Amino acid sequence: MDRIDLYSLTEEELIDFFISLGEPKFRAKQVFPKLHEGVAISEMTSLSKALRERLADITLDTLPRVEKKLVSKIDGTVKYLFRLHDGECIESVFMRYKHGNTLCISSQVGCLMGCKFCASTLGGKVRDLLPSELLGQVIAANLDTGERVSNIVMMGIGEPLDNFDNVVRFLKLVNHPSGLNIGYRHISLSTCGVVPGIYKLAEIDLPITLSISLHASNDEKRTSIMPVNKRWHIDELLKACVDYYKVTGRRISFEYTLIAGKNDTAEDARELAALLRGAFRGTGAPIHVNLIRVNEVEETEFTEGTVDSANAFAARLESFGMVATVRRRLGADINAACGQLRRAAGAQASEGKVE
Ligand code: SAH
Q: What is the pLDDT of residue 107?
A: 98
> Does ligand 1 lie within 6 Å of residue 295's CB atom?
yes
Question: Would you state the pLDDT for residue 354?
Answer: 33
pLDDT of residue 348: 40
Residue 199, burial from CB neighbour count under 10 angstroms (0-12, 13-18, 19+): middle
What pLDDT, on a 0 to 100 scale, did the predictor assign at position 338? 64
- The reported pLDDT for the residue numbered 233 is 98
**Active-site residue, 115 included:** no
Q: How far does the centroid of ligand 1 lie from the alpha carbon of residue 150, in Å?
A: 22
247 alpha carbon – ligand 1 mean position (Å): 26
Q: Side-chain half-sphere of 214: how many Cα atoms within 13 Å?
A: 30
Which of 95, 152, 212, 292 is the best mutation target for the ligand 1 pocket, counting ligand atoms within 8 Å of the beta carbon and taking the most? 292
Q: Round to whole Å and give the CA distance between 18 and 23.
A: 5
For the chain, domains (ranges, CATH) are: 6-58 (1.10.150.530), 65-350 (3.20.20.70)
Which residue's C-alpha comes closest to atom 14 of ligand 1?
A: 213
Please check whether residue 117 is in contact with residue 297, taking contact to mean a CB–CB distance below 8 angstroms.
yes
Name the pTM for this structure: 0.94
- Confirm or reject: Cβ of 192 under 6 Å from ligand 1: yes
Q: Which residues contact 93 (CB under 8 A, 6 or more apart)?
A: 77, 78, 79, 80, 103, 104, 156, 330, 331
Question: What are the per-10-residue average pLDDT scores of the chain (355 residues)?
Answer: 92 97 96 97 95 96 96 92 97 93 97 95 96 98 98 97 98 98 97 98 95 98 98 98 95 95 96 97 94 88 93 97 89 69 60 32
